[in-house]
């Protein structure tokens, strides 16, 4: 993907700890509002779709995750979202 066609992740995330804490808080807030973990994970998968399409990978890890997401089936994407959910929750 051309760098001019996608957004730099740093437009959304200034550092890993801040991003992780923000996601952790969002998961907690969703639970407070009565969302189930499955609903949160489905939403995470939708966000993953957006990130894979619009955000330029800045690291090899992000590039690998984007490649896995792009070739993954919906069930595999849900598994990746669940993994990230468990890391952040």
Residue 56 lies in domain:
3-88
Residue-wise pLDDT tens digits, 2-24: 555 666 655 555 566 777 788 88
What number of residues does the chain have? 89
Enumerate the β-bridge partners of residue 55: 7
Question: In this predicted structure, what is the pLDDT of residue 72?
Answer: 92
Give the total number of structural domains in the chain.
1
- Counting DSSP H helices and E strands in the chain, the numbers are 4, 2
Cβ atoms 27, 88 nearer than 8 A: yes
Question: In this predicted structure, what is the pLDDT of residue 7?
Answer: 61
C-alpha–C-alpha distance, residues 65 and 80, integer Å? 9
C-alpha–C-alpha distance, residues 30 and 25, integer Å? 9
pLDDT < 50: residue spans in the chain: 1
Give the angle 53-56-85 at the CA atoms, nearest 5°. 70
Question: In this predicted structure, what is the pLDDT of residue 14?
Answer: 57
């Amino acid at each position: 993907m051309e760098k001019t066609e996608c957004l730099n992740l740093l437009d959304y995330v200034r550092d890993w700890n801040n991003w992780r804490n923000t996601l952790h808080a969002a998961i907690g807030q969703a639970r407070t509002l009565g969302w189930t973990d499955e609903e949160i994970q489905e939403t995470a998968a939708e966000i993953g779709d957006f990130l894979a399409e619009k955000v330029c990978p800045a690291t090899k890890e992000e590039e690998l995750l984007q490649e896995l997401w792009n070739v993954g089936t919906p069930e595999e994407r849900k598994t990746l979202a669940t993994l990230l959910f468990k890391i952040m929750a």
